[in-house]
Amino acid sequence: MEYAACQVSIAPLRAHPADKSEMVSQLLFGETVELHESKDSWRYVISAWDGYAGWVDVKQLKRLTPSEYDDYAEHHSMNLSLVEGLMAADHFIPLTLGAVLPRYDGLRCTLGDQTFQFSGPVVTPGQQKLSSEWIVKIARRYLHAPYLWGGRSPFGVDCSGLTQMVFKMAGIRLLRDAAQQVTQGRAVDFMEQCQSGDLAFFDNGRGQVTHVGIILPDCHIIHASGK
């Protein structure tokens, strides 16, 4: 098996190996993938986080050794700013909310043979206590982000991309699509049983789940729809 990580701010994950193809999801900096078949300058990849698959331009990927791939899964932090700069010796990479910082030590992170400096706020898996307040706090950082099919960043996000990223920064692994996320967790029978930070799902009238949001205090819902 071959492995890689996203080495650009945001890499489109496409349905077919072409720039004009539908963007089905995105990879953020530092997120890792398994590499599969290739076609021209494209590789078919499977995301390590959610198992989502698609085509990525190879120029946007950094090859990893198997040991690096395993190590990054265990030792990383995530950016908590809407946008924060990642500094290398000869270039600058803007990181969006939720981007991964492999092997971050409080000052530096590494990606393959590259070392970067980072001084922004981070969250590290296992070090943040899970609470509804934390989920709501992160969710509010996406307020007024434009809707973008397949998006997972504050510069464009879809409904399930929003919920997935918020819960990722809370240490919870959600699948990529709303229809997949509804299979996780526990259903409640009445709205009165819901708590702040829970997920709210919506169907299309035919029983198919097509939309998801996060319940806020006072039963408001934050979700990606237009903005």
Domains in the chain, start-ordered, CATH in brackets? 2-123 (2.30.30.40), 132-222 (3.90.1720.10)
pTM of the full structure: 0.95
pLDDT band at 65 (very low <50, low <70, confident <90, very high): very high
- C-beta separation of 33 from 3 below 8 A: yes
% of the chain beyond a pLDDT of 70: 99
* pLDDT for position 227: 67
Q: How many CA atoms lie within 13 A of 129 on its CB side?
A: 2
Tokens at 157, concatenated? 């996000």
Q: What is the pLDDT of residues 19-37, one digit of tens each?
A: 999 999 999 999 999 999 9
pLDDT band at 151 (very low <50, low <70, confident <90, very high): very high
pLDDT exceeds cutoff 90 at 84: yes
* pLDDT for position 188: 84
Mean pLDDT of 172-183: 97
